[in-house]
């Protein structure tokens, strides 16, 4: 048999792909009995019956042969939930490993190469981790930026700016790739990567589905970008769709990787609380962004602050808490630079009277063209030409019919 020719990661992947294999069982498989097992050894033990298969207990005797849940031969993710009867018995560690390699999916296990040290030290470490991308980014100081999916545009903007500025300052932004705050934090970090090059913009997404299954589906593009510029990590085997029980489990990984967890917005109840609890259990500091007392999306964060969480309002606050130096660069908060450009110093350009008049009509608050025409008193055509000119030279920005000075306060989230 060619089984022995496989690398240990392949056996780790195979163990994690067994139907019913959860974090607790996997951790037992590797650590049971005091001496750590290698993945090959663990696989042999499970196959031969020396170790109980996943899901076996007093109520349910072990069932042999073991069926390996297959991520789908055609390369499409097969719903592996609840037993995956269709793929049983047809998959082997070899085929699974082939599948992983064709998608550049790597796997490691507790004590294996590349396994994040912070996770191994904490309670309930994931038995097996799959990832795509550069997991080495986790060696940077990691900051988890998390929050609700049902966020407000303000929360989204805060998450975006935190992601952008923290990653620009050399931190790695860890989040859950979910809709809302998580996605905005990742998008911010990716924006920093675009602006400052690959050195900045480190971001790692922790997924609840397999690393090759984008969830939510509309984050497919974001997912791909994070894979390309950072990494996506998951406990779930490849091809596995998101299952609800995996989300709290995913949140514990986020908390376990981070040196600081920042909750941007959270309702009175929600997944962010899992992350907070896991962080507290691991002694990871928790910070929260204060919000309006009238906003339901800030009830949770305000409560956290009341209970002693660090209140952060900017990336600088987070960097101070981590003891990291801020790295000034083009990513510094918009304001003086944009105003400077507006005042006429941008690029050494001296604006003409029409441009000056249009600049005077613009503000930091976005305005419609109508408002600009009324405020400047210029004809519509001239205003549009001037706005286009200003936008080209970076003094103004227009999106979807709104115009503002300098950078746009809206959230360009994917």
Partner 1 sequence: MLATVASATLVGVDGYPVAVEVHVANGLPGFRVVGLPDASCREARDRARAAVVSSGFRWPQRRVTVNLAPSGLRKGGPGLDLPIALGVLAADGQLEPELLRGRAFVGELGLDGTLRPVAGTLPLVAAVAEPEVVVPASSLGEARLVRREGLRGAARLRSLVEALQGRAAWPEVPAAGPQDQPAVADLADVRGQPLARRALEVAAAGAHHLLLVGPAGAGKTMLATRLPGLLPDLTPTEAIEVARIHSAAGLELPGGALSLRPPFRAPHHGASAVALIGGGGARLRPGEVSCAHRGVLFLDELAEFAPHVLDHLRQPLEEGRVVVCRAAAAVAFPARFLLVAAMNACRCGSDGSPGSCRCSEPARERYRARVSGPLLDRFDLRVRVSQPDVGALLAAPGGPARAPGRPGPSPKAPGTPADQGEEPTSVVAARVARARWRARERGLRCSSELPASQLDELAPLSPGARRLLERRLREGLLSARGLHRAWRVALTVADLAGHDGPLSEEHVLLSLALRGEGIADDGSARSSSRDDAQSLAVASWVS
Positions touching partner 1 (CB under 8 A) are: 149-154, 156-157, 179-180, 221, 297, 357, 360-361, 365-371, 373-381, 384-385, 388, 392, 399-402, 408-412, 414
Exposed / middle / buried, residue 385 (Cβ in 10 Å: 0-12, 13-18, 19+): middle
Min. distance of Cβ 358 from partner 1 in angstroms? Answer: 11
Is 126 buried (19+), middle (13-18) or exposed (0-12) by CB count in 10 A? buried
**b/e sequence 288-302, b meaning 16+ C-beta within 10 Å:** bbebeeebebbbbbb
Q: Which CB atom, from 87 or from 147, has the smaller least distance to partner 1?
A: 147
Q: What is the 3-state secondary structure (H, E, C) of 375-405?
A: HHCCCHHHHHHHHHHHHHCCCEEEECCEEEE
Nearer to partner 1, 80 or 180 (CB): 180
Nearer to partner 1, 171 or 405 (CB): 405
Strand residue runs (E) in 268-399: 285-288, 310-311, 367-368, 396-399
Residue closer to partner 1 (CB basis): 323 or 353: 353
CA triple 99-83-127, angle to 5 deg = 60
Cα–Cα distance measured from residue 369 to residue 374, given in angstroms and rounded to the nearest whole number: 9
State whether residue 182 is helix, strand or coil.
helix
Work out how close the CB of 248 gets to partner 1 at its nearest, in angstroms, rounded to a whole number. Answer: 21
* Nearer to partner 1 (CB atom), residue 84 or residue 413: 413
Instruction: Check if the beta carbon of residue 251 is closer than 8 Å to that of residue 233.
Output: no
| Complex with partner 1: residue 75 or 379, whichever CB lies closer | 379
Q: Which is nearer to partner 1, 336 or 360 (CB)?
A: 360
The nearest distance, CB 149 to partner 1, in angstroms, is: 7
Kindly state the smallest distance separating residue 360's Cβ from partner 1, in Å.
Answer: 7
Beta carbons of 50 and 77 less than 8 angstroms apart: no
Cβ nearer to partner 1, comparing 56 with 369: 369
Q: Kindly report the number of other CB atoms within 10 A of residue 350's CB atom.
A: 8
* 252/256 Cα distance (integer angstroms): 6
d(CA 66, CA 17): 11
Number of Cβ within 10 Å of residue 154's Cβ equals 18
Beginning with the edge strand found earlier in the chain, give each strand of the sheet holding 310-311 in spatial order: 106-109, 128-133, 231-234, 202-207, 172-175, 142-146, 260-263, 285-288, 310-311
Contact 188, 167 (CB under 8 A): yes
CB of 336 to partner 1, least distance (A): 20
- Please say which residue, 57 or 377, places its beta carbon nearer to partner 1: 377
Q: How far is the CB of 185 from partner 1 (least distance, A)?
A: 14
> Which of residues 169 and 297 has its CB atom nearest to partner 1 in the complex?
297
Whole-angstrom Cα distance, residue 42 to residue 261? 34
Q: What is the C-alpha end-to-end distance of the chain, expressed in Å?
A: 47
Nearest to 249 by CA among 46, 78, 16: 16
Pairing of strands 106-109, 202-207: unpaired
The minimum distance between CB 394 and partner 1, in angstroms, equals 13
Return d(Cα 173, Cα 165) in angstroms, integer: 10
Q: Which is nearer to partner 1, 151 or 192 (CB)?
A: 151
């Amino acid at each position: 048999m060619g089984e022995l020719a496989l690398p240990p990661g392949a056996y780790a992947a195979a163990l994690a792909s067994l139907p019913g294999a959860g974090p607790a069982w996997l951790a037992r498989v590797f650590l049971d009995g005091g001496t750590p097992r290698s993945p090959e050894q663990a696989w042999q033990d499970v196959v031969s019956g020396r170790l109980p298969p996943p899901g076996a207990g007093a109520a349910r005797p072990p069932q042999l042969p073991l069926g390996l849940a297959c991520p789908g031969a055609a390369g499409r993710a097969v719903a592996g939930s609840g037993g995956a009867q269709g793929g049983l018995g047809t998959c082997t560690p070899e085929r699974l490993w082939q599948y992983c390699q064709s998608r550049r999916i790597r796997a490691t296990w507790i004590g294996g190469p590349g396994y994040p040290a912070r996770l191994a030290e904490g309670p309930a470490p994931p038995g097996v981790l799959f990832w795509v991308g550069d997991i080495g980014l986790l060696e940077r100081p990691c900051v988890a930026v998390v929050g609700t999916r049902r966020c407000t545009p303000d929360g989204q903007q805060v998450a975006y700016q935190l992601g952008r500025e923290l990653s620009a300052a050399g931190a790695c932004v860890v989040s859950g790739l979910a809709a809302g705050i998580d996605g905005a934090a990742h998008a911010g970090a990716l924006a920093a990567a675009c602006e400052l090059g690959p050195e900045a913009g480190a971001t790692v997404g922790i997924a609840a589905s397999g690393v090759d299954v984008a969830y939510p589906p509309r984050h497919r593009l974001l997912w791909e970008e994070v894979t390309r510029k950072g990494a996506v990590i998951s406990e779930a085997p490849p091809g596995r769709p998101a299952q609800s029980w995996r989300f709290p489990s995913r949140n514990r990984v986020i908390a376990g990787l981070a040196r600081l967890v920042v909750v941007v917005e959270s309702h009175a109840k929600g997944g962010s609380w899992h992350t907070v609890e896991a962080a507290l259990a691991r002694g990871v500091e928790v910070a929260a962004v204060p919000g309006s007392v009238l906003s339901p999306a800030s009830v949770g964060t305000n409560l956290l602050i009341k209970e002693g969480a660090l209140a952060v309002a900017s990336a600088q606050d987070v960097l101070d808490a981590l003891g990291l130096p801020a790295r000034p660069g083009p990513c510094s908060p918009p304001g003086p630079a944009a105003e400077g450009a507006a005042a006429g110093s941008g690029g050494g350009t001296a604006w003409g009277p029409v441009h000056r008049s249009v600049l005077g009509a613009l503000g930091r608050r976005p305005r419609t063209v109508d408002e600009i025409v009324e405020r400047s008193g210029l004809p519509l055509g001239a205003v549009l030409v001037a706005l286009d000119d200003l936008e080209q030279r970076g003094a103004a920005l227009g999106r979807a019919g709104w115009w503002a000075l300098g950078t746009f306060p809206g959230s360009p989230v994917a």
